[in-house]
Amino acid sequence: MKFRPIFICFLFGMATHITLAQMDASVLKDVEAIEGDVIDWRHHFHENPELSNREFKTAETIAAHLKSLGLDVQTGVAKTGVVALLKGNQPGKVVALRADIDALPVTERNDLPFKSEVTTTFLGQETGVMHACGHDTHTAILMGVASVLSKHKDKIKGTVKFIFQPAEEGPPPGEEGGAKLMIKEGVLTKPDVDAIFGLHINSGTPVGTIKYKPGGTMAAVERFVVNVQGKQTHGSAPWAGVDPIYISAKIIDGFQSIISRESPLVEEAAVITVGKITSGVRFNIIPESAEMIGTVRTLNPQMRDMIIKRMTEMARDIAKAYGGTATVEWQNNTVVTYNDPELTTQMLPSLESVAGKNNVVLTKASTGGEDFSYFQEEVPGFYFFLGGMTPGNTEAFPHHTPDFKIDDNGMLLGVKAMTQLTLDYLNAQ
């Protein structure tokens, strides 16, 4: 076994002494041997996606695999989640590894041989179901990590808790779910978790590259619903009523001025997006009401509070100016994904040891959101981004789109990274 030089972190007056090893040869052999299985699992999940809080078959497949490894497996956590414990041969800390398992209401549009043909009804609309964010890769990677680590309990000082989390994309309206519900049900206790690691594959980052950021790395996410009330009338006589669709357009335009004219964007980014408008039943009727649903993304708590306040005021006042009324309902979906600075610095050499120092890149914060952030509110956590784009590719389709693709070759590094992080953290002195 070859050892790297001792790495010492002095941050905020605290010192962490950790000896980091290059990946043990026997561990590396098992990691490389599992790659084919990881790809096969990923293809299976991709072809058979399930929406949030409905990941029944996905959970069955995960649980069966973990049980086959001899792990202590718990199912039905936060509705469809799966949690498993692996105890090393020596006592020590507890580290949690998390993968999200849900898919999205997106109709897949590509020529993959394992393309999803699954359809469902979501919020009253017929839609396809697709792993359009890469959660299928996260699940397969963590199953691979479990396979590898279960063969090397002699190298583990402490306990590994594998968390396969449902509903990262948010539970259906009226339901609980996701990381919040897992925490509520005690996933970070019995035994108490000391630190948690997670990753997200990225379609725009080349295979072989890892990106990270200490501190705030992904945004707090709010879901909002604006209900606009007007007065119904014939489409030929708009003066006889109050048009909620017209008011909605003015409100949307006003919301964007909050970002462009009121938000100090030199401090942090912020985004307001209206993603859905519902109103009316016929071309020649001005309807009684309209509903808009959207999201706000912020990286600064003060900006978050200001934007919520101003949107609520603006919707009300604009509607009033045009003879209608408007109210805004708010739901918090995630807080800021915050990478503990000390833990991030401590574990950075682990990523460099498996990816190469030049392939581990400091990145900027993203306005995407992650409910991994709720775990990080409870225990120190480190969340990083894994390259999933074919090197040399000039076109990368965004996440949450019908053309989203991930290169299978990116997943081996994910298994290596999560395995090395686990062993280095638990074996730290």
Selection from 305, 300, 303 nearest residue 338 by Cα: 300
Q: Which of 349-358, 368-377, 389-398 has the lowest mean pLDDT?
A: 389-398
Domain with CATH 3.30.70.360 in the chain: 231-323
| pLDDT over threshold 60, residue 4 | no
Check: CB of residue 19 under 8 Å from CB of residue 428. Answer: yes
Q: What is the pLDDT of residues 281-313, one digit of tens each?
A: 999 999 999 999 999 999 998 999 999 999 999
Whole-number pLDDT of residue 209:
98
Strand, coil or helix: 426: helix
- Cα diameter, the chain: 82
| pLDDT over threshold 80, residue 392 | yes
Catalytic residue among 50, 100, 102, 370: 102
pLDDT level of residue 2 (50, 70, 90 thresholds): very low
Whole-number pLDDT of residue 429:
57
Q: What is the pLDDT of residues 229-266, one digit of tens each?
A: 999 999 999 999 999 999 999 999 999 999 999 999 99
- Beta strands (DSSP E) in 246-350 are 270-279, 285-286, 289-298, 325-334, 337-339
Q: How many CA atoms lie within 13 A of 397 on its CB side?
A: 14
Q: Which CATH architecture has domain 231-323?
A: 2-Layer Sandwich (3.30)
Q: Which of 161-165, 264-268, 306-310, 413-417 has the lowest mean pLDDT?
A: 264-268
| pLDDT over threshold 70, residue 373 | yes
Share of the chain above pLDDT 70, in %: 95
Catalytic residue among 168, 194, 340, 352: 168
Residues 318-357: b if buried by 16+ CB within 10 A, e if exposed: bbeebebbbebeeeebbbbbbbbebbbbbbbbbbbbbbee
Reply yes or no on whether 102 is catalytic: yes
Q: Which of 120-124, 164-168, 188-192, 245-249 has the lowest mean pLDDT?
A: 120-124
Q: Which CATH architecture has domain 12-218+336-426?
A: 3-Layer(aba) Sandwich (3.40)
Domain with CATH 3.40.630.10 in the chain: 12-218+336-426
The torsion angle over the Cα atoms of residues 88, 194, 421 and 30, rounded to 10 degrees, is: 30
Mean pLDDT, residues 327-333: 94
> Which spans in 274-340 are helix H?
301-321
Look up residue 68 and give its two tokens: 């086959």
Q: Which of 14-28, 190-204, 343-357 has the lowest mean pLDDT?
A: 14-28
Task: Work out the number of other CB atoms within 10 angstroms of the CB of residue 139.
Answer: 28
Residue 121 pairs in a beta bridge with: 126
Average model confidence (pLDDT) across the chain: 94
Strand, coil or helix: 277: strand
Reply yes or no on whether 168 is catalytic: yes
Q: What is the pTM of this model?
A: 0.86
Check: CB of residue 306 under 8 Å from CB of residue 265. Answer: no
| pLDDT over threshold 60, residue 6 | no
Residues 91-115: b if buried by 16+ CB within 10 A, e if exposed: ebbbbbbbbbbbbbbbbbeeeeeee
Q: What is the pLDDT of residues 86-109, one digit of tens each?
A: 999 999 999 999 999 999 999 999
| pLDDT over threshold 70, residue 146 | yes
